[in-house]
Chains A and B, each alone.
Chain A
């Protein structure tokens, strides 16, 4: 295997390959920064280019684009509060408030360094995993995925700020939003209002754009000034350097989220949208500075970024060695493999091990180069947050239109984003957590789908048949009880302190 890894490194660092890598990084970053130009759509557009190329060059080119897209998406999420990619929405929750506090440089530095570390972790784990990956992947069936979704939903208890009743209401209504559309189990059309448009359900990107970006536009207009609310610009290298150091300060969080991300990447069916929120929830649940999450806590930037990039290693592994894609981008990469005459599956780790490692290393190198480019550009990018709001408002609205429209070239998605903008605005002013709504919206459908599949295949007692699912159930219950106990004890001590003060 060491020989294959060395060959993979030589392939990627081949002078003929480097222009393709840099070209791929440039395309990926532009696509990521502009909302709506999805990574999968770009790979599909570029697929014809790879026909005539050498398989190693062609696949490396596509993988590097895929790696750079999410790095670019982070930039828009942090600077404008508009998720550049659906997989960078969780990063926005703390990244954008950091930009508002004048620490866009630190947020960008931390996110890029965390991404780089996550990608390295994901790649490293793959090297160790090859001999044992098959039983790990096969151990995850529908009961385990169902429990993973439930574990994610249980983070609603942690993720809401302010009133926990309102946070749970938002989570429950988010679940309802996730149930809109055609129900594959029964063929029923739920909450579509007789409109064909809603048959596919509510699309993630327009909903995210509306919920998060539009209320920020309103805020920008009402409060005036620039995105950064501080008078003095703090966009020196010192701020960026602080950000670069942050993932090292929180190395344990980076490791945990990278492990979570790699695990979720290995499991087909759990996309990047899910994994980033699970990592964010985990970070908040385990942090000592829980109250600062959502207000600009750097851990809230590091966790989803490290998880998201580590996930790519895991999903590349399942796609290449088992032909099981975890998302649309991996489907395109598998299609490219087949077009080039390479069959994904066991042959990849027996016959084509050098190509396998070339792709894994190109994923790491792609992440590394795009992170470096972003870090070098951070100071210039951070200046955007000090531009006058009146100039930025029409540009952000255009980004929302572009992001929503670009998902399916359907103008109704833009109107959906505007409608959710209104809902998001009301939720923001009346303190209903938009994060818990999002968690419910993303995970509700997963939980329902895998619950019904589990009941159909294993019967109502399906949880008892799976030790992993049982462990996850126990972890969920313990997490909820722990949170409840902490709340009770903190209330008790607060009352005690106030009584003492009164006396």
Chain B
């Protein structure tokens, strides 16, 4: 099946069309190179979509890496999205401690490993960035409210 590939090519085509329309409004010098790139992209995407459609019509079965969605794909993407939320809410240091702990517990690793790795990461990052390099670490949404 080439449905996923076809849909991805169609999505890229739509994005390129939107970019093409917005490019037309720019001054000549600013739109020259983007137009060259977009025209090339649109032509090639047309070729790709036709090829995909022909394959689809002929019923050519092609092994595609993402065709059968393993539930593990969804799990890791949920984790990545959750990491972004944890980072936004609890800040840099909160994520450094929470992410390894929660992920390792989710994977049913031992309590000892989960706690020691997350604490180890926390101490290492805090000492290196906050103490030695005095780098301003993102505090998150919650910490500043508690600290005023």
Q: Is B8 part of the binding interface, using a Cβ–Cβ cutoff of 8 Å? A: yes
Total interface residues on A, CB under 8 Å, equals 54
Given A168-B40, A218-B73, A429:B80 Cβ within 8 A:
no
In the complex, A163 Cα to B47 Cα: how many Å?
A: 12
The stretch among A116-124, A169-177, A338-346 that forms the contact with chain B is A169-177
A-B residue pairs in contact (CB < 8 Å), sample of 10: A169-B12, A186-B26, A214-B80, A222-B76, A394-B103, A394-B104, A395-B100, A411-B87, A414-B87, A430-B9
Which residues of A (177-191) have their CB < 8 Å from a CB of B? 179, 183, 185-186, 188, 190-191
Residues of A within 8 A of B113 (CB): 391
Given A191-B22, A401-B95, A429-B65, A45 and B125 touching (CB < 8 A)?
Answer: no
Name the one of A165, A222, A397 contacting B72, with C-beta atoms under 8 angstroms.
A222
Option from A45, A428, A429, A447 in Cβ contact (under 8 Å) with B33: A447
Is A426 located at the chain interface by the 8 A CB criterion? yes
B80: A residues at CB distance < 8 A: 214, 217, 397, 418, 421
A245 within 8 A of B: no
Q: Is A80 an interface residue (CB 8 A)?
A: no
Q: Are B76 and A395 in contact (CB under 8 A)?
A: no
List 4 additional A-B contacts (Cβ < 8 Å) besides A173-B41, A179-B34, A429-B66.
Answer: A186-B27, A394-B100, A430-B9, A451-B33
* Residue in B40, B95, B104 whose CB lies within 8 Å of A398: B95
Interface hits, B111-141 → A, CB 8 Å: 113, 117, 121, 125, 128, 133, 135-136, 138
Q: Which residue of B lies closest to A406 (CB)?
A: B135
A140 in contact (CB, < 8 A): no
Residues of A within 8 A of B41 (CB): 169, 172-173, 176
A168-B65 contact given A397-B80, A398-B121, A418-B80, CB 8 Å threshold: no
CB-CB under 8 A from B87, the residues of chain A are 401, 411, 414
Check A402–B125 contact: CB distance below 8 A: yes
Which residue of the partner chain, among B5, B29, B73, B107, contacts A452 with CB atoms under 8 Å? B29
Q: Does A221 make an interface contact (CB < 8 A)?
A: yes
Q: Return chain B residues, CB-CB under 8 Å to A221.
A: 72, 75-76, 79
* B48–A169 touching, CB < 8 Å: yes
What is the bound-complex CA distance between A187 and B66, given in angstroms? 42
Does A409 lie at the interface of the complex (its beta carbon under 8 Å from any beta carbon of B)?
yes
Residues of B within 8 Å of A37, CB to CB, are 133
Residues of B near A175 (CB, < 8 A) are 33-34, 37
Tell me if A390 counts as interface (CB < 8 A to partner B).
yes
B contact residues, total (Cβ < 8 Å): 59
Residues A391 and B109 in contact in the complex (CB < 8 Å), given A165-B47, A218-B73, A418-B84: yes
Q: Which residues in B have their C-beta under 8 angstroms from that of A185? A: 29-30
Contacts of A428 in B (CB 8 A): 65
Pick the residue among B4, B30, B135 that contacts A188 (CB under 8 A): B30
Task: State in angstroms the CA–CA spacing of A222 and B71 once bound together.
Answer: 9
Residue contact A430 to B64, C-beta cutoff 8 Å = yes
Q: What is the CA–CA distance of A401 and B37 in the complex, to the nearest angstrom?
A: 31
* Interface 1/0 per residue, B40-52 and A, CB below 8 Å: 1100110110010
List, in ascending order, chain B residues with CB within 8 A of A447's CB: 33
Task: Find residues 359-416 in chain A having any chain B CB closer than 8 Å to their own CB.
Answer: 390-391, 393-395, 397-398, 401-402, 405-406, 409, 411, 414-415
Taking CB atoms and an 8 Å cut-off, the chain A residues in 403-455 that contact chain B are 405-406, 409, 411, 414-415, 418, 421-422, 426, 428-432, 440, 444, 447-448, 451-452
Q: B26 near A398 (CB under 8 angstroms)?
A: no
The closest CB in chain A to the CB of B45 belongs to A169
> In the complex, A176 Cα to B38 Cα: how many Å?
8
Given A169-B44, A172-B40, A398-B99, are A405 and B92 neighbors across the interface (CB < 8 Å)? yes
Contact of A190 among B34, B100, B138 (CB under 8 A): B34
Answer whether residue A166 sits at the interface, using C-beta atoms and an 8 A cutoff. yes
Residue of B nearest to A222 (CB): B72
B49-95 contacts to A, CB under 8 A, are 51, 64-66, 70, 72-73, 75-77, 79-81, 83-84, 87-88, 92, 95
Nearest-Cβ distance from residue B99 to partner chain A, whole angstroms: 5
